[in-house]
Structure 1
Amino acid sequence: MTTTTTPTSRPRPLRVAASIVGGLGALVSGLVGAGLLTSGQGGAVTGLISAAVALLAAFGFVITTEPRVTPLADPVDQAGRPLRPAEATPPAEAADPPASPAEGSTTP
């Protein structure tokens, strides 16, 4: 038996943000259509809304992704241990002697 979630049971931040921006754009268009704002003023307000959305999106992207990125200058895990490439041999295995060739094999 599987349980399904309804669309309202989880947050939808992108949908909310798009609704707010769309509502502000419709409000400005309505004010221009009603004659309360000139078309130049409406364009300026719409431009300010677009600039604010772009600025918030850029900062939001940086704030949410920056903690998840490993810095290249000093890569460490959450415990503070230095990270090393996957092909690097761990120190304990580096002291082991190389495996001997299988019997019957010929080497050139």
Structure 2
Amino acid sequence: MNRYMPITGHDCNIPSLLIDTQAPIDVLHDATAYRIRAVTQLLENFAVSDEAPKGAVLLQELSLVCSILLRDGCDLMDVAGDSSKKNCQSKSQWAVLSRPVFVYSAI
């Protein structure tokens, strides 16, 4: 894996936004959490607001902002996951780390 990985949400022949694949896991985690929390807070504010955003253009722009932040967060999680796997000494250690944190149930 290359040291610097371009984020996938930005189509460009010459990438300018890169993720350092050798960054410490806690730094990758913090960057991921920041982006996901930003989207969560934005969506929660709209959910409890009496005045929902109106108009197709505004909704499209809000969707774009959310998708950019979530895509960046997913890219960061991928790098952090790869880094975690490399740091594990054996398969048994990775099995402990790879348990799902959240379980979703369709009711």
TM-score (norm 1): 0.36
Q: Which has the higher contact order (CA 8 A, sep 6+)?
A: 2
Decide which structure has greater strand share: 2
Larger radius of gyration: 1
Decide which structure has greater helix share: 2
